[in-house]
Structure 1
Amino acid sequence: MSQTPIYGGQAILEGVMFGGKEHTVSAIRRNDQSIEYYYAKKTVKPWMNKLKKVPFIRGNIAIIEAAGIGSKHLQFSSERYDVAPGEEQEGQELSKLEMIFGVAIVGILSFLFGKFVFTLVPVFLAELFSPWISGKYPQIFLETGIKLILLLTYLYLISLTPIIRRVFQYHGAEHKVINCYEQGLELTVENVQKQSRLHYRCGSSFILFTVIIGMFIYLLFPVEPLWFRVLIRILLIPVVLGVSYEVLQFTNSLRDVPVLRFMGYPGLWLQLLTTKEPDDQMVEVSIASFKKLHEIEKNPEIALRLHHD
């Protein structure tokens, strides 16, 4: 059985972040075409490490950790991608302090707020149709349908904006590099571009799983009265996230099993919206980020020469 380490990633503005067990690195393309790096070490409390080993709980911990770390890298890219080296704003040092103390928290809160909105808005919209579509099962199916429509519409609309389209291209570059690495191929632009832009372990797949898994979990509870329905949706958020995370890991483990790999297909189909084919320069940046992470894993002192928290 392969012992290849598992790496995760995230597309950012004009770049890609990759993370391993202890380290995270971003590479971005500056507007003078140079590549700049940002480093952040994963610092997890011992009690969190213990929880990350507990099924159905570990998913919530991993998501919160990813939201916090990802926000730091996104902040870095947003401040520097469109500014030539040497022309950074004078207030940048303050921004770095804010990044150290505040961006991770803001990222986590933004994720939680988005999850609350995405969970509750379909409840109220489905309730509006209750005079015509009533009963527990019809209401839950309608709620799920509305949630899917909102998700797909949102992703489609933001993909039409130039800046998000480029982020989605970098998302595709991230997946291509991971796929190339997991196949044991040399990380060259040519090899990476031959890979699929889709990946079973993607966060986009996870989002879709939360919709599907949520529907089945909601079937266990009544939908009336409305206040109880709202309350139970809020209380079940960590349950839905935890179960969805386990399902995502399970489908990833089956991707090489011919008969069962189809279980991950819905998530891959959603990635047709959240990833786009990258150009060679984007792939270059993604490769640079991944290679820099490997360098740091072999020699952590390299991180001292990068922008880091």
Structure 2
Amino acid sequence: MSQSPAVYGGQAVIEGVMFAGRNVNVTAVRRKNQEITFYEVPRSASSSFLKTVKKIPFIRGIVGIIESAAKGSQHLTYSAEAYAEDETDPQEAPAEKPKEKWNLTMILGVAVVGVLSFLLGKFVLTLVPAALESLLFGHAFQNRILHNLLEGVIKIILLLAYLWGISQTPLIKRLFQYHGAEHKVISAFEAGLDLTVENVQKQSRLHYRCGSSFIIFTVIVGVIIYSFFSWDSMAERLLQRILLLPVVLGVSYEVLRGTNALRDIPVLRALGYPGLWLQLLTTKEPTDDQVAVSIASFNRMRELDKQVNPV
């Protein structure tokens, strides 16, 4: 009679959290007047072709990234618009309207940076370290594996510096707190606990299935995959990185799934530690109010999911 709990995911948005259910995606946002408002988007049924593709290892990860980016942009837009509306003085003269629109654009840009806008961010994080390593060490030695390792080190340094830098801004710090609240709610649900603020706050803000873990795995997997290929110039090396990017993403997704599946095995759970370490930067401890928003989003998603499919 008992069923294994469903696997849910989500993401932090500006002053809120989005959770993805089987049939609906729900964002809850804390407004300036302390009211919690919801943005609910039914999930459209996938075509038979897409359902088949999602079952194919190494390919399903690419499809998931594209779907996640499209889904997340809708909810980020909603939260950014709500934030801009709350921060806009209702007495502003019409002459200020262009500035308000610019502020919304700025907020959206910062929010996208905060959740590591994957497609653009991964492209930059792939090409810049390769170019830097070629410039600094390209003629120092011939060992391709060592070049790849140095490229990986540069990539990790840039990633950590970038995350630390943006985490110093108040808006991104709060975004990372909501990221922690999202993880805590999922962990409490997976542990079978009642979703109260007290129970949720006892959970870790780190989670094996996080997109932040996925990013660090792409660095590690990339070093390994790139070692099977050689290049004769920087241009060839950069082109190779672009062509191999889908392969790196697909393999990294499977590694992430594997580490999550093995996390209850004492020896093998260490495979997921690099991703958890990165989450020390991409999550912060949330306040009780932020946890309450995350719980509200999760409960509303579950409620709507049951209305569509009560079984």
TM bin (shorter chain): 0.7 to 0.9
Q: Superposed, which structure 2 residues align to 1:17-56 within 5 Å? A: 17-43=18-44, 44-56=46-58
Of 245, 261, 272 in structure 1, the residue corresponding to residue 269 of structure 2 is: 261
Mapped to 1, the partners of 2:270 and 2:288 lie a distance apart of 30
Please list, as runs of the form range in 1=range in 2, the aligned pairs for 1:268-279 lying within 5 A after superposition: 268-279=276-287
Deviation of residue 226 (structure 1)? 2.2
CA contact (8 A) 1:213 1:243 kept: yes
Distance 1:281-1:135 versus aligned 2 partners, 3 A rule: same
Task: Find the aligned partners of 1:294 and 1:84 in 2 and give their Cα distance.
Answer: 28
d(CA) in 1 for partners of 2:87 and 2:217?
A: 41
Q: Shift of residue 134 of structure 1?
A: 4.1
Alpha-carbon offset, residue 115 of structure 1: 1.8
> 1:111 and 1:263 mapped to 2: Cα distance?
23
Task: Identify which of 72, 90, 94 aligns with 2:74.
Answer: 72
**Cα distance, 1:223 vs. partner?**
3.0
Structure 1 unmatched runs, 5+: 96-105, 302-309
Structure-to-structure mapping, 1:1-309, within 5 angstroms: 3-43=4-44, 44-84=46-86, 111-129=118-136, 130-300=138-308
Equivalenced residues, count: 287
Task: Give the match's secondary structure for 1:257.
Answer: coil
CA distance in 2, matches of 1:45, 1:155: 37
CA, structure 1 residues 82+191, in 2 after alignment: closer, same or farther (shift >3 Å)?
farther
Distance in 2 (alpha carbons) for counterparts of 1:262 and 1:272: 16
**Which stretch of the first structure deviates more once superposed, 227-236 or 247-256?**
227-236
* 8 A contact 1:28–1:35 mirrored in 2: yes
**Partners of 2:87 and 2:279 in 1: CA distance:** 34
Q: Say which SS state the counterpart of residue 151 (structure 1) adopts.
A: helix
Q: Percent identity?
A: 56
After TM superposition, give the deviation of residue 39 of structure 1 in Å. Answer: 1.0
> Which secondary structure state, in structure 2, belongs to the residue aligned with residue 16 of structure 1?
strand
Q: CA deviation at 1:222?
A: 0.4
Length-normalised TM-score, structure 2: 0.87
Q: 1:253 to 1:289 in 2, by over 3 A?
A: same
- Cα distance per residue 1:75-114 (max 9 Å; x no partner): 0000003534996x999xxx9xxxxxxxxxx99xx63222
For structure 2, the residue ranges without an aligned partner over 5 or more in a row are 102-111
How much does 1:176 deviate? 0.3
Q: State whether residues 52 and 61 of structure 1, in contact with CA within 8 Å, keep that contact through their aligned partners in structure 2.
A: yes
Contact 1:27 1:285 in 2 (8 A): yes
RMSD over equivalenced CA pairs, Å: 2.5
TM-score (norm 1): 0.87
85 and 143 in structure 1: CA distance in 2 versus 1, 3 angstrom threshold: closer
- Aligned partner letter, 1:266: P
**Distance in 2 separating the partners of 1:259 and 1:112:** 33
Q: 1:27 to 1:85 in 2, by over 3 A?
A: farther
